[in-house]
Amino acid sequence: MLEKNRPDSPCIAVCSTALGDEICRGCGRSVVEVSTWVMMSDEDKNKIWARLEEQWRQGGKVAPWLREG
């Protein structure tokens, strides 16, 4: 089961994979993760959410979907 405080997808509408990037500059997912997101299991999605949130933390920022207001 996915966490309730997360949106359906990490997408923040700044997708750079459509421009040829292997990793999206907006959400941090790979082009494969972006293109297969809707078919992934909740378990696989949760692993990606956790990785993305850790990447934001390591960069000294809060992931956009965890920001308040």
- Map the chain to HEC letters: CCCCCCCCCCCCCCCCHHHCCCECCCCCCEHHHHHHHHHCCHHHHHHHHHHHHHHHHHCCCCCHHHCCC
Range of the domain at 26: 17-66
Classify residue 23: in a domain, yes or no. yes
Stated pTM of the model: 0.84
Classify residue 33: in a domain, yes or no. yes
Classify residue 4: in a domain, yes or no. no
- What's the token pair of residue 61? 């920022």
Q: How distant is the alpha carbon of residue 58 from its chain centre?
A: 15
pLDDT tens, residue by residue, 31-57: 999 999 999 999 999 999 999 999 999
pLDDT at res. 64:
86
Classify residue 5: in a domain, yes or no. no
Classify residue 1: in a domain, yes or no. no
Classify residue 6: in a domain, yes or no. no
Q: Please give the tally of structural domains in the chain.
A: 1
